[in-house]
């Protein structure tokens, strides 16, 4: 469908998701650090997370999710014009994981790039996909959010190791036709590097290449100021959602489902309260997967589509925040 400005509209034609088989429960974590199931459930909402098997990589998770998304969209790998792969846990630094996925999928020569925006990665990637469809440059874009985060977590640090897990999801974004009541309204992305030190993974880049000292100081693992991130998470996601609703003259009552980044159920509840949106209109899947960074929003969305909560024609509001600090929202008519 072309808009009044002469652009095309993009829509999500299919989704897929995959969580690895192996599960790490709160009880398992009790054996590793001084914590307990009750504390983790009450403070985060997490009961277990999924962990990849030996030899299973971020691209493998993405491959499974992408096959499902392509099937639902009635598209073949050869139809893909671009692959956008949101991740902070790529298979390796180079080549990018989008190219690895292209090869595994058997997709043809196309633009394939990783998007690094931490937990906001999927919303950022969807925003980029939407623009490429709007201009008419591409017709079919594979947008992935997938992570293997457990390898970046110090299992002696109870502040972080209880939170993160592995998993991924994919969406096939296509040009909407005139008869489809299904499109992206708008997206609203932000970044505030001035508070970037709240959540970091210090080593592995050119600033701190791997040395024995890095390993001794455990700088290959994430470091987080949890309480401060909590406040910024509520503030930024609330602001991004406000923007999305205002830009489209839509009220919270017009929104069927909010799908927030699944980092902590208390953050999600605070954002819902900000809008006066009841929790039964919020997709919460954190119990089963923990924080899977760029994957949470698309995995939660896919689960809600597959179990029938999300229906075609509904207004869906995606929102996320993450290291950077990045944040964003994307309002769509599914």
Residues near ligand UT7, by CB under 6 A: 35, 39, 43-44, 119, 158-159, 162, 199, 224, 226-227, 229-230, 233, 263-264, 291, 322
Residue nearer to ligand UT7 on the CB measure, 168 or 322: 322
Catalytic residue among 26, 96, 264, 291: 291
- Beta strands per DSSP E along the chain: 10-18, 22-25, 48-51, 82-86, 111-115, 140-148, 166-175, 183-191, 199-200, 223-224, 257-260, 315-322, 326-333
Residue pair 292/148 in contact (Cβ under 8 Å)? The answer is: no
> CB within 8 A of 297, min separation 6: which ones?
122, 123, 145, 169, 259, 260, 261, 262, 318, 319, 320
- Residue 188 is a catalytic residue: no
- Residue 240 is a catalytic residue: no
Residue nearer to ligand UT7 on the CB measure, 145 or 322: 322
Residue nearer to ligand UT7 on the CB measure, 159 or 269: 159
Residue nearer to ligand UT7 on the CB measure, 133 or 300: 300
Distance CA 85, CA 67 (A): 14
Distance CA 175, CA 11 (A): 6
User: Nearest-CA neighbor of 256 among 277, 283, 285, 281?
Assistant: 281
Distance CA 320, CA 331 (A): 12
Could you give the maximum distance between any two Cα atoms of the chain, in Å?
60
Distance CA 114, CA 129 (A): 12
- Residue 264 is a catalytic residue: no
Catalytic residue among 48, 99, 261, 264: 261
Catalytic residue among 48, 99, 110, 119: 119
Smallest gap, in angstroms, from Cβ of residue 118 to ligand UT7?
7
Alpha carbon 286 to chain centroid, angstroms: 12
Residue nearer to ligand UT7 on the CB measure, 43 or 281: 43
Distance CA 222, CA 299 (A): 22
Distance CA 288, CA 277 (A): 23
β 223-224/48-51 pair status: unpaired
Residue pair 71/65 in contact (Cβ under 8 Å)? The answer is: no
Q: To which H or E segment does residue 227 belong?
A: helix 226-247
User: Nearest-CA neighbor of 330 among 191, 126, 146?
Assistant: 126
Q: Crossing angle of helices 265-275/226-247, nearest 10°? A: 30
Residue nearer to ligand UT7 on the CB measure, 44 or 315: 44
Residue nearer to ligand UT7 on the CB measure, 155 or 230: 230
Known catalytic residues are 119, 261, 291
């Amino acid at each position: 469908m072309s808009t009044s400005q002469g652009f095309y509209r993009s829509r999500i034609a299919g989704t897929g998701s995959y969580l690895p088989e192996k599960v790490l429960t709160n009880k398992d974590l009790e054996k590793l650090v001084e914590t307990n199931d009750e504390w983790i459930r009450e403070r985060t909402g997490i009961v277990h997370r999924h962990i990849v098997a030996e030899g299973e990589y971020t691209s493998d998770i993405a491959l499974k999710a992408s096959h499902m998304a392509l099937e639902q969209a009635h598209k073949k790998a050869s139809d893909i014009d671009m692959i956008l792969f949101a991740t902070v846990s790529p298979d390796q630094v180079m080549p990018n994981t989008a190219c690895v996925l292209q090869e595994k999928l058997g997709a043809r020569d196309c633009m394939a790039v990783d998007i690094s925006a931490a937990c906001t990665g999927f919303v950022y990637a969807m925003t980029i996909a939407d623009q490429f469809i709007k201009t008419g440059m591409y017709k079919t874009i594979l947008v992935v959010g997938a992570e293997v985060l457990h390898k970046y977590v110090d299992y002696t640090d109870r502040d972080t190791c209880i939170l993160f897990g592995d998993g991924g999801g994919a969406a096939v974004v296509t040009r909407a036709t005139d008869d489809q009541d299904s499109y992206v309204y708008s997206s609203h992305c932000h970044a505030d590097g001035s508070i970037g030190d709240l959540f970091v993974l210090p080593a592995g880049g050119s600033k701190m290449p791997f040395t024995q000292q890095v390993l001794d100081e455990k700088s290959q693992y994430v470091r987080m100021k949890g309480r401060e991130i909590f406040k910024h998470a509520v503030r930024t996601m609330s602001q991004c959602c406000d923007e999305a609703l205002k830009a489209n003259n839509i009220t919270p009552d017009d929104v069927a489902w909010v799908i927030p980044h699944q980092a902590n159920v208390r953050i999600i509840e605070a954002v819902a309260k900000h809008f006066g949106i009841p929790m039964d209109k919020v997709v919460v899947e954190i119990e089963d997967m923990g924080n899977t960074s760029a994957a949470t929003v698309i995995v939660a969305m896919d689960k809600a589509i597959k179990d029938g909560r999300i229906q075609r024609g509904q207004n869906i509001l995606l929102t996320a925040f993450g290291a950077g600090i990045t944040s964003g929202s994307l309002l769509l008519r599914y």
